[in-house]
Structure 1
């Protein structure tokens, strides 16, 4: 039907003519709903995408993009949808039905229904594929890998301007990649500029840049920097890769805590937290060697809780454990000289190793300890004064006629004999060899 000026407006002829114009202009005209699905496509979808308009409707723009590009553009378009504002210059790469690549520049305006509710976007796509140059699919694939890599990747120039970052890097800084590109590194995160300045100094000096572990907002990252040089070998910037190792660091910290706990348990009594028999024996050997080498004094005191079996029978084992902890704490307060070591020797027995102290000093400490435990006034019906008491045996190297041997067994045997005599003499007393 010929186009005539007097054809009434709104007739089927006008509709066909308008559609013919839309289909034949160079730009692709489209509409999407509020979910981002096409509700209209002009005929330019044929040369641009190799798709009929009816095959485009109902699909999303991301269905025509390579996977990595789709991820990148989807994040950006989600922000555009949320803002419900006009946009322009959204560059995106699309894959035609024959596998070739076309580069499009998208612009659009928001559309609202009769009630003022956001209904979607109406816009155009323009082909900006370089003429006469087939886009390198491998380059697009590499860019998609860069954009979607789980490791934070970025590049900065010498002025600390961000040349490129991927989404993982942007998320680390609480931004999007589009927002950060071209910004100062300080705008990404205040810790990063100082870090990069240090790396640039190393690069300028021709020194290797070591990997670093850095803490950013409570998370740990393994940071690897590489110098970027121009064709003349001049350092013009840095590339950076930051891998989140927070999980590994937490595991390392947990393992370190567990190892310290194991080390502590290996040398300490589980009930009283004092030195255990293993640590006491090792210290006795060490102090015997020192005494033999220097000719210095060495004393040992062994304490034993009087009538402890009767205490347990009367009050129960839980009360007995608490009694031992209370006694351990009271004794520990008395043996605080450098080099002193107090430990649980077994059962209700405690051993104190006292370097550089003579017979009189050791006896005075033992008596002070006996009085301190009696003063706790822990009820024990079996005890003579009606409370928990201790007996003590005291011995020094001089008491056993030490001849220079490094064997500490005779010293412990002597102090054990002294304790036995204190028990035989009525308990709640000290006895010296």
Structure 2
């Protein structure tokens, strides 16, 4: 099993190209099931989750091909992926595939909308709380589907097709909004989705669906109106840059010190995180190329954070910000409101000498001047990269084990950090 070795103490200076967003690429790939036409996705990140979803879609009959490299293209450029679901050969998504990646459960919506039935295993993925699928299934029922759960599988049926309806989410749910959108675009009549998630990745899916022939109003707002159509067609769409990756490297630059340009990212996609970063003492400058983050000589200030649905502070950046706060000149409070079990990184950060105590849904972080390198273990995707951030500023050597979690969500991490002066090395198993 691969490990990553980091020797801390080097400031980061240079440019980091931000990859396509994993959280946008996965639902976009799943949307290919909605049409017999070809969906061409550009800027798809090279991640293990993407590779797994290619396998899952292939199991349903999707022909997945990746365009060859073009002149001047590097390993950090995203893939061009062509997905053609001319014929759905299987409406069953088995446990052995779905259990490895939670987002693959979303195939239930396009399979049901296009084929009138789907049998999908209950999902797996990161162990960061129960993350129930009840709201996703509620959305399908509002559109006329019958839902049965049997032996760990969701069996959804709508033999006469789905019918438009009103979906009122009691709380904001990204997965629920993705599901509702993909189901509603082929439903007869009009669907209203209230309290919809407004994350940029949801907007990216909606905009791609419109290119495929869907009729959606209110994109980017909390209320979406979808007028169903009989068929969708193929389209070409570019996956938006990954705001979580950008935020991660922004925090890394603040932690290690230095001056880093994050290429291609739009500030408004992670403004809440950038605001907190400025409060912590880093300088954040928006340019035509992206976002420049620098911290030279100034201490890190303690900042309180509460995770919220977009446009609030993202739960997917909570662990990274906590790592930054371990070296703040004072005490900060980080409150997690999205997932109830997302503090598993605390015990690993403590191995660096960090002083963190848990108080219900909050972590109290008492900043210290010096972290010490240590052997640590990744526990989930976002927690694992918080260990990278801590290691960049720690004295001595850190060995991060179980880095397959990192490979699920961060493309070319060692290369991107190394080009900015970090002492990072992957040790192959």
Relative to its length, the structure with more helix (as a share) is 1
TM-score with structure 1 setting the length: 0.19
TM-score with structure 2 setting the length: 0.19
Larger Rg: 1
